[in-house]
Amino acid sequence: MSRNFILIRGASLILFILLIMSSCISDPDSPGLEYMPDMYRSPAIETYVDYGEVRGRENKKFKSRLSARQTPKYTIPFYEDPQMAKMMLPNHFKGADSLQFTHGLKGWDLSPDSVDYYALAVNDTINPIELSLENAKDIEKRGEKLYTSMCMHCHGKNGDGNGPMVQSGAYVSSGIPNYKDKEKTELSNGQLFHSIYYGRNLMGAHGSMLNKEEIWTLVHYIRQFQDKKYFDLEMNDSDSQEDSDEQEMQ
C-alpha cells in the first residue's frame, strides 16, 4: 500500500513538473500558456479594431466593420474651459438638406433648403477664438500647419487658388476661389466657417476631418492672405495709436 502510494505521489510530482514546464515559453514578452485567458485579458471591444480577423481567425461578417459606435446626437467632448465647450456646441447656421446628396452628408444635422443659412451667416462676424498678443503667433503657426495639410493642394500656398491640384489639371482653376479677391475678402467669418465645415460648390465638407477649433483657426489663417499684417498685433496697435494721436492733435 505504501509502495503504491509512493509510486502515485512520484507520478503526480512528475506530471506536475511537466505541466509547469509546458507553461514556460522562451519569449520574455509572453505570459506563457494561460488556463483561462479571458479571465486575464479583457474581452471588451476596442475602438477602431478590425474584428474580422482575430488571432489568425477570419470572420468575413465583421471584416472592415468599425467597432466604434456613433455617439448620440449633439454629443460634444468634455471641456473644462467654458468658452471651448460653447465653441463645440451644434452649429447655429446649419448646412442645407441638399448637401446630403451633393456632398455626401447623409446623417448630418442639416436644415431645409428653404432656409439659406449660408446667407444668414453673413451676420456671424465674430471668430470665437480671439486673437491676442500672447496667442497670435501660435494661432498663425497652427493655422499654417492645418492649411498646408488640408487646403494648400487646391487653394495654393498663397491662397490664390493655384495649388498643385489646379496646376496638374485635375481641377479647373475657375472652380477654386482666390482668397485675395474682393468678393472673398468681404465674406464674414461665419461664411468662411460654413464653407469649410459643410463644403461649398466644388469643395467637400471638412467637418468630419477638422474640429470646430481647427476650422476657426483656419479662418484666422485665411485672413492673413487678405491682410499681411493680420497677425502682427503689435504693429496694428501702434498704427491705431498713431491714428488716435493724430485725431487728437487735429
Structural domain contains residue 7: no
Nearest to 157 by CA among 61, 221, 66, 110: 221
User: What does the alpha-carbon distance between residue 126 and residue 116 come to, in Å, rounded to a whole number?
Assistant: 19
pLDDT digits (tens, 9 = 90+) for 159-186: 988 889 888 888 776 678 788 777 777 8
Domain for residue 207, yes or no? yes
Reported residue count of the chain is 250
- 70 versus 13: the higher-pLDDT residue is 13
**What local confidence, expressed as pLDDT, does residue 135 receive?**
93
Query: What's the pTM?
Result: 0.68
Are 131 and 180 in the same domain?
yes
Q: Per the domain annotation, does 119 fall within a domain? A: yes
Question: Does 52 lie in the same domain as 145?
Answer: no
Q: Are residues 144 and 219 in the same domain?
A: yes
- Helical segments of the chain, H only: 2-22, 37-40, 82-87, 99-102, 117-120, 136-150, 152-155, 164-167, 182-185, 189-198, 212-226, 233-249
Contact 52, 61 (CB under 8 A): yes
Mean pLDDT score, 139-150: 96
Q: How far is CA 29 from the centre of its chain?
A: 35
pLDDT given for residue 143 in this prediction: 96
* Maximum mean pLDDT: which of 65-79, 125-139, 174-188: 125-139
Q: Residue 59: which domain range? A: 34-69
Shared-domain flag, residues 47 and 143: no
Cell of 207: 467637418
Higher pLDDT, 43 or 59: 59
Q: What pLDDT is stored for residue 66 in this prediction?
A: 65
C-alpha span between 73 and 173 (Å, rounded) = 38
Question: Do 60 and 165 have their domain in common?
Answer: no
Q: Do residues 234 and 133 touch, judged by C-beta distance below 8 A? A: yes
Asked if residues 143 and 122 have their Cβ atoms less than 8 Å apart, the reply is: no
Which of 212, 227, 240 lies closest to 129 in space, CA to CA?
Answer: 212
The answer, yes or no, to whether residue 22 has pLDDT greater than 90, is no
| Cα torsion through 99, 102, 104, 105, rounded to 10 | 0
- 169: part of which helix (H) or strand (E)? none
Task: State whether 99 and 207 are in the same domain.
Answer: yes
Residue 176 maps to a domain:
yes
Domain boundary among 43, 69, 95: 69
Report yes or no: 167 and 154 within 8 Å, Cβ to Cβ.
no
One domain for residues 122 and 41: no
Q: What is the pLDDT of residue 222?
A: 94
What is the CATH number for 107?
1.10.760.10
pLDDT of residue 188: 93
The answer, yes or no, to whether residue 118 has pLDDT greater than 70, is yes
| 53 and 143 together in one domain | no
> How many helices (H) and strands (E) would you count in the chain?
12, 2
Report the DSSP beta bridge partners of residue 96.
111
Asked if the model's pLDDT at residue 25 lies above 80, the reply is no
**Residue 51, pLDDT above cutoff 80:** no
97 and 155 co-located in one domain: yes
Q: What's CA 62's distance to the chain center, in Å?
A: 26
Mean pLDDT comparison of 29-38, 149-158, 168-177, 183-192, highest-scoring range: 149-158
- Give me the number of domains the chain comprises: 2
pLDDT of amino acid 220: 96
Q: Is residue 23 part of a domain?
A: no
Give dist(CA 137, CA 156) in Å, integer: 21
- My answer on whether 159 and 40 are in the same domain is no
Instruction: Flag whether 21 is in a domain.
Output: no
pLDDT higher than 70, residue 208: yes
